[in-house]
Structure formats: C-alpha cells, structure tokens
Amino acid sequence: MYKYEYLPPYFLQNGVTMTAYTALWANRGWESKITHLEPKYHEVIFTGGQGVPIFGKVAIPANAHSTIVGTYGITGELDQQWFLRILGCKAYAQGYAVVLFDWRSHGKTAELSPTLTSDGLYEGEDFVKIAAAAAKMGCPPQFWFTGYSLGGQLALWGVKAAADLAPKDIDIAGGAVICPSLDSLRSLTYLVTHPFGKYIESRIAKELKKLAWKIHAAYPESLNPEAIARANSIWGFDEELVIERLGFATVADYYQASSGLELLPKLSKPTLILYAADDPLFDPAIIPDLETAAHKNPVIDLLLTRYGGHVGYVSSKKCQNQYQDPDQWWAWNRVLEWIEARRNQKIAQVSVANVLKMPK
C-alpha cells in the first residue's frame, strides 16, 4: 500500500466539503485549470458484451504509445463529464490514445439500446470489447482501464474480464480507479443515515428516474411506466427495473454479486486503487477490508489518503509544488504517473526478455 501525503486547500480538508465543492464549483472554468487543450475526438459506436451498442469517443495522438479507456460514475453523459474530460486532455498530451464511453443506459448509449445497467457484471466485458475494437482502429497497446465512483467499479470488472475474455493479441495491461464503489449494500445503507448522504442519494435517484424515462421514451415497451414511477430511490431503481432482468431475487443479492470488494482477490493484472478515508458516500467500515484485500493481492497498489472526499482530490499549491504537478488535479496526476511507471516497467521486462532470447 502506498501512503501519499496528499494535501488539499485548508477549506477542503473535510470530505463533505470537498465532495460538495467538486460537485458544485470545481467544474466552473475547468478548461482554464489545465495546461492542455481538449483533443478532437471522433464519435464511434462500439459493440459491447451481448451485442449491446455503446457510444464512445476516440482520440489518437501522433506517435501514440498506449491507450486509456475510461468511463464515469452512476449518472450523467460524456459531454457533461468534465472530470473525465480532464483525464482525456492530460492523457492525450502525454501520448496516450483516449477512448471515453457512455456506459449502459447512459447518455447516447441509452438512445441506442434499452439495456439497463448491471454495475459491472456485463460492463466488464464492454471494456474488453471496446479495447479490442479500438485496437483495430489504431489505438496502440498497452490498454489501461479507468473510471471513478461507480465507474471505478466497472473498470475493476473490466480488469477482471480482461484476464478471462480478452483476445490474446490485445494487450490489456491493467487498470487505475479513483474512489471506486466497492460495497453498494453497506455504502447505500450508510449513505441514507446522514443528512448530506440523504441529499446526495435523493439527487442521484432523481437522475436515475430521468434516465429510465428517457429509455422509456425511446423504447416504450422496454420499461413499465408504473415501475419507473415507483423507483424513488437508488435501491428502488434497482428493485423495480434492474434485478429481475439480471435474474436476481433481491437487490441485496445483486449488490453482493457485483461487489467490487469481492472482486479484488480475483484480479490478476496491475491495478491502482486511489481511495480517500474521508469519502462521505461510502461506509468507512469498508476501509479495513479494502486494506486487507490489497495486502493479500500483490497486483493491487492501494493509495489510501486521509483527505480527498468523493473523487475530488483538488490539491493545494503546496501539494502541487511537492509533486511538481502542473495543475490541481492530484488524482489524475497520480493515475497517469502510476500507469506510466507500469508501462515503462513492462517495456523494460520485454527488452530484457528479448536480450535473453538472443543467440550467444
């Protein structure tokens, strides 16, 4: 486990404050808070697992050396996902091809299919299928999967699926995630016991309901409008609309099956998990289990910080100077730093292996 001394500005040294700041203010003028312009993406419709169409955007710089594939959290769509777009700017400038996508039932993907979410059970295969298609488009190996919040859980499932399903000619090297959802049952139970959590849960539930109505408008026969009307919470959304389609008797069974925490022992490719101890959206009781799982699996690098809130990780000027970062986006800087180190490590290993193969 890595223990980094991340330090936010003084007024953000509280998980709730950081999370609220990230959700409400940090996106304002984000383009001026990075040193690189956004790449020119071209739109692509990928075919994910079970033939589900997935909308994505691809940008390949000249002399690209590897590829990052990423998505976002529980609600939203690509054009609104400024935090993910920051990754695209930074990664492209460092020579990575970038593939960003609307995951199942989100954004333009929801317009292409009535397929609902599965919290990673099928989205993991989507990551692999997208990487394979991107490789044919010219995106170079190695491929790295990333995401944050619930998207982080999806990316972890992608890393697992890469070991099980990826074609041998597609080099999926690993993944890096920020504040991933790891135990939906515990965290959702925890979330609704606090005023701030109740507010966040209510906002998310309203967005999920909008998402369901959007799918119903495009595919009227796919969702029961009475079920949508009853889906007034995150739990209710999954209970009314998701679990029956996936074959689960209860929401608790579904959350157990898709749990990121249960997945960690099964990962076999290098994986970075960046997690804040003061994340107000997740049950703090998860942290000891996360530390134990990371300690037992040598492919996992856990970067556990005291501060950070949910995903935000805005750094102070002192912190930026300490790490020689070009901007305040501490989490993405660490993700790219870690990927670059693993990428170079793998290149070195290949070079040594090639030398050993040379005739004496």
Residues with catalytic function: 149, 279, 310
Burial of residue 332 (number of CB atoms within 10 Å: 0-12, 13-18, 19+): buried
User: Can the peptide bond before residue 142 be classed as cis, meaning omega within 30 degrees of 0?
Assistant: yes
Query: Where do we find the tokens 């693993």?
Result: 342
If 0-12 CB within 10 Å is exposed, 13-18 middle and 19+ buried, where does residue 331 land?
buried
Cα atoms in the Cβ-side hemisphere of radius 13 Å centred on 41: 18
Q: Which two tokens mark 277?
A: 């101890």
Q: Which of 301, 261, 33 is nearest to 176 (CA)?
A: 301
User: Which tokens is 142 given?
Assistant: 């190695």
Structure tokens at 85: 């777009």
What would the two tokens of residue 317 be? 């000027």
Handedness of CA 156, 131, 117, 330 (dihedral sign): positive
8 A C-beta contact, residue 71 and residue 147: yes
CA–CA gap between residue 175 and residue 145 (Å, rounded)? 4
